[in-house]
A and B are shown apart, each in its own frame.
Chain A
Amino acid sequence: MSITYLDAIREAQAKALALDSRVYIYGQDVGPFGGAFKATKGLAKEFPGRVMDSPISEDAMIGSAIGAAIEGMRPIIEMQFADFSTVGINQIINHAASFYWRTGVPIPLVVRLPSGGTPGSGPFHSQSLEALYAHYPGLVVMTPATVEDAYSMLLEAVAIDDPVIFCEHKYLYYHLKADALPTSAMPVGKARIAREGRDLTIVAYSAMVHEALAVAGELAQEGTEIEVVDLRTVKPLDTDTVMASVARTGRLLCVGEAFPWGGVTAEVIARVASEGFALLDAPPQRLNAKDTPIPFHPNLWAAHRPTAQSIVSAVRNLLAM
């Protein structure tokens, strides 16, 4: 039995709905249609009245989720694309994120963001906004890279009493498969050593973990052993695991699909530079998308964000320093 990343997300939601009557799903086209990516396929039927179509109102979708959460519900809001979440960003960052700190009343909601690029998806269907949300206090930001994490971390997200931004990668939806759903999971907030290495550390998250692993496989044939760290959550960021890896290798390359300025990669490097300066044998490096909107044509898109080739190049540069 082969389970895709998307299946895992649907299964997690089904399980959440089944286990806790306070859970409901609200978003555009999530009801009978099953969602733009079929992440809620069949769920409206299986759980009547709990998987509802919303009007195209990101602000009202989140606002109402806040109200419901105050009343004890545990809403899952599906944004059709991460790129549209910014229409409702005020309710996320100024309301949901600040509510507990201001009132002591927790807001247990989950905002699912289909994130990341696929060929031809263009500037408004490809964005990765984890850094934007991580910037605001009061949010947990998850970026699962594997089928197993997509499943267990979404269940965890629903169970957490705080607002969780769940960044799912659209490319991984159907391209990533696993044999079975997991029965156990690493705790949320811990990063995973996706591949052990010795010569250089690549810190990555979401789809870039797979690019990094491909690079590590290629370079292993030359005798270079790359350690790959999968952050799993961007906030909280598991500085300890990153630091321990850099302690082993002395060289750090941080890779992210998002825009460069103030990205997750900048945050990782800032922490390593300030807390782990004496671990570094070479200046820490980062690789991100270009500082332009995301291009439409696949040829341009391939050059816009990090790929296995550009990562190899960055790795070689760093090893030569």
Chain B
Amino acid sequence: MAMLESVVSQGGSDGRDLHLRAFRYMLLARTLDEKLASLYRAGKIPGGGVYLGKGQEALSVSLGIHLRKGDVYAPLIRDGAGRLAFGETPLEAVRTCLGSPLGPMRSRDGNVHRGRPKDGYLPMISHLGAMISVVNGALMAKRYKGQRDMVGAAVIGDGATSTGASHEALNQAAVEKLPLVLMVADNQYAYSTPTSRQFACKSLVDRALGYGIRGWTVDGTDLAKCLDTIGQAVQEARSGGGPQLVVGCLLRLCGHGEHDDASYIDPLLKQAPFGRDALDVARTDLLTRGWVTQATLDQWHRQLAEEVDAAVAQAQRDPLPEAAAEKWNPLATSHLMDGQFEVSA
């Protein structure tokens, strides 16, 4: 699927186009999330691992939409919107969640662990913070090969900032002066752990100073602000400004996974400004600006729902993986495979 060229938000018709496209990705992401949640409740998801991005769509899409071909993107578990903006299709997403052998991970990994490495779309591993240094390495390689003006984008949550891996990687990026944009989605909770148990600095952006890099904060619920701030950060990195640490403030509007009811979330936080639903905020904003009508919105909603339903229907027709037909070879160099371990007759 061809990746859409991104245009830095400028407020003019280009800016409006970007904004509308971003909103559609948000809406598509939300629709897809709701579909995945219902598949989960119907018991259709192997392993029951469904992680939604409800509440994070504005922040996520704003990073994905500013990337272009030649960039590297390492999204995390709530980046459905960003992934779609970067060029993922709903079909790929659903196929991976269902474990289809026709999906990008060919049944060998599932749900949010998906990507297309050769297109710069890196599939995450579960160990938080691990992806950032991989982005670093990709950027180092590109630079070495003479590529210019590329950006590497990685996303982590407030919880992942505690890992050694994320610290090492950010430090490495700074030392190597890489065009890395690290977006921290501070949604107040890492599973059930509030940020008061995660870090002691006033804001995660304070760490940027420690690394010697530029830091940004943004209201994660406001699409316009996200598009603007993140667009600037990406541009800064792209033009040689070194690593950029962007901290978006929002609230997680779903459980850690769909298996979690998030009853530990402080209800007061839901009343706070950052407790707003970014999709609602964006919708209202678009209507207020007069950039869409309700009818258009309804039409988009229907179209995107059909798109999602079609993807699900197709994915559900996929064959199941067959263990006997699989090549159980972990090496690209097949003659170096170690011996057979099955009990021979």
Contact = CB atoms under 8 A, between A and B. Distances in A.
Determine direct contact between A and B, CB below 8 Å: yes
B336 interface: yes
B266 interface: no
B69 interface: no
Interface in B297-345: 329-333, 335-339, 343-344
Nearest to B329: A101
Contacts of A104: 106
A90 to B, nearest CB: 5
A102 B108 contact: yes
Nearest to A67: B137
B330 A101 contact: yes
- Chain A at the B interface: mostly helix, strand, loop or mixed? helix
A188 interface: yes
A101 B334 CA distance: 12
Interface in B156-180: 164-165, 168-169, 171-172, 175
B140 A64 contact: yes
The winner among A68, A69, A160 for most chain B CB atoms within 10 A is A68
A60 B141 contact: no
A62 to B, nearest CB: 8
A59 interface: yes
Contact of A237 (B141, B145, B339): B339
B172 A60 contact: yes
A123 interface: no
A105 to B, nearest CB: 4
Contact of B336 (A67, A90, A137, A189): A189
B138 interface: yes
A24 interface: yes
Contacts of A64: 133-134, 136-137, 140, 169, 172
A71 interface: yes
Contacts of B141: 67-68, 70-73
A102 B123 contact: yes
A64 B338 CA distance: 27
Given A67-B135, A71-B142, 8 more contacts: A60-B171, A64-B172, A66-B134, A68-B137, A70-B134, A98-B330, A140-B333, A236-B337
7 contacts: A49-B144, A64-B136, A67-B135, A97-B330, A101-B329, A140-B331, A236-B336
Interface of B: 72, 104-106, 108-109, 113, 115, 117-118, 122-123, 125-127, 130-142, 144-145, 164-165, 168-169, 171-172, 175, 329-333, 335-339, 343-344
